[in-house]
Amino acid sequence: MTSAPPWESLLLRPLRRSHVVQFASDDDFRAEAFTRFVGAGIRGGEAVVVSCLPHRWRDVARRLASDGVDVVRAEREGELLLFDPEATLPQLLVDGSPDAAAFEKTIDPVVAELRLRFSTLRVCGEMVDLLWQRGDRDGALRLEHLWSDLQRRAPLELFCSYSLDLLRDDAYDGPIDAICRSHSHVIPTRHYDRLDEAVMRASAEVLDLPLAHMMRSLSASHRPETEMPFGQATLLWLKENMPITAAKVLDGVRRRVEG
> Could you tell me the pLDDT band of residue 1, with boundaries at 50, 70 and 90?
very low
The CATH number assigned to the domain with range 6-190 reads 3.40.50.300
Give the integer Cα–Cα distance in Å for 259 and 254: 7
Share of the chain above pLDDT 70, in %: 92
pLDDT in tens, 137-182: 999 999 999 999 999 988 899 999 999 999 988 888 778 888 999 9
State how far the alpha carbon of 138 is from the alpha carbons of 67, 91, 128, 141, 179, in Å.
Answer: 38, 18, 10, 5, 10
Alpha carbon 21 to its chain centroid, in Å, reads: 2
Q: Which of 6-10, 91-95, 207-211 has the highest mean pLDDT?
A: 91-95
pLDDT in tens, 62-83: 999 999 999 999 999 999 999 9
Where do the domains of the chain lie?
A: 6-190, 193-258
Say what the pTM is. Answer: 0.91
Give the integer Cα–Cα distance in Å for 97 and 90: 9
Identity (one letter) of the amino acid at 27? Answer: D
